Structure 1
């Protein structure tokens, strides 16, 4: 199976151009409170004059439906990723209002299987991320990847695509690739001094290509 790759936290037009030429399937923009937060107006100006080569995702956290609908009108988003405590009804209404794919991020915990089961019927994909010191997502810290097989098994049972996120980088991705995830979601792991790094992206993609070629 070909693994999907999402690069998140695009913060500038330079980042956007770099990620557009990468192996990524999806480019993510964080519209939630974060050190990587950008505005729909900024993103619209970056993508307006460049050929759209990737799927575009907007990441929100406990935003109102109106705010997410407005952003989807401003930016040619393909995916809306809800990264907070959004309810099933929010997912349903958001899909109805925007006609976009909606991903639901779920914090890794002992109840992850139950959470996947709840949202699998409504979300187009699940993103399992780590929590550190009360912060969900963007922590640069991974959860125990020994739990990934059980997570992927639950997602497969529920027939929902599942991305793994949190603390993935070129130095450790081999450990995660052993479990053959459907997709990976990275942000800080491909940055150097706060900017997306061509060298780190190339290193990461070499790792992915190496593992993929050994499986064929």
Structure 2
């Protein structure tokens, strides 16, 4: 059964909304972006988050000390590294925090994914490659590039309520990851989040 991650939450109000809908994961973005939040904001959000939902801290080429601080504050249950972090960086973060690590791979070809699987992370996150960007482009990549993988993976990149069932059926990801497609005017839309979750859960029901 594919799980669901709603990424880029910014307010306690959005936390209360997802508490009613119960995705498996929510993403707190600490990297520079329009969805970036501070650690103090994340503390308040985590305090209000249902214990049934795990929080994922999203970092892009962050100083290790910043990632370690987030872990020590107890605001994240998993760490998502969405930049150019190498084998040594991933290994050190995993060893020093004791938290599961998701390593994002921006997919240009199958070799990108296979190289990613060699990293000492717990999960991969497969996202669309765009030069000069570290995710969030809202475009689908060619799912045929995904090989048989040993590591469980999150599938991202242009997923929405219209195509997520096809994505789950074809790719069998551990989880699907969505952000902009469930927003209205820069805020998470309860209607769109509900629809996205419903679509994913319908696939599980009939398979």
Shorter-normalised TM range: over 0.9
- The within-5 A match list for 1:62-141 is 62-110=61-109, 111-119=111-119, 122-141=120-139
1:163 aligns with one of 146, 151, 154: 154
Q: Is the 8 A contact 1:31 1:60 kept in 2?
A: yes
Moved more, 184-193 or 72-81: 72-81
Q: Is the 8 A contact 1:55 1:77 kept in 2?
A: yes
CA offset at residue 133 of structure 1?
Answer: 4.2
SS at match of 2:154: strand
Q: Is the 8 A contact 2:61 2:85 kept in 1?
A: yes
Residue 208 to residue 91, structure 1, CA distance change in 2 (3 Å): same
In the aligned structure 2, how far is the partner of 1:207 from the partner of 1:201? 10
1:207 aligns with one of 183, 195, 199: 199
CA offset at residue 6 of structure 1?
Answer: 1.0
TM-score (normalizing by structure 1): 0.89
In the aligned structure 2, how far is the partner of 1:73 from the partner of 1:100? 10
SS at match of 2:192: helix
Q: How many residues align?
A: 205
Partner residue in 1 for 2:24? 25
Partner residue in 1 for 2:3? 4
Q: Is the 8 A contact 1:108 1:130 kept in 2?
A: yes
In the aligned structure 1, how far is the partner of 2:179 from the partner of 2:16? 15
Query: Does residue 185 in structure 1 map to residue 177 in structure 2?
Result: yes
Structure 1 stretches of 5 or more lacking a match? none
Root-mean-square deviation (Å): 1.5
Structure 2 stretches of 5 or more lacking a match? none
CA offset at residue 212 of structure 1?
Answer: 1.6
- What does the per-residue CA deviation read over 1:52-104, in whole Å, with 9 as the maximum and x for residues that have no partner? 33111100000011011112222431101100000111111111111111110
In the aligned structure 2, how far is the partner of 1:27 from the partner of 1:50? 9
Runs of 4+ in 1 over 6 A off after TM superposition: none
Q: Is the 8 A contact 1:40 1:75 kept in 2?
A: no
TM-score (normalizing by structure 2): 0.92
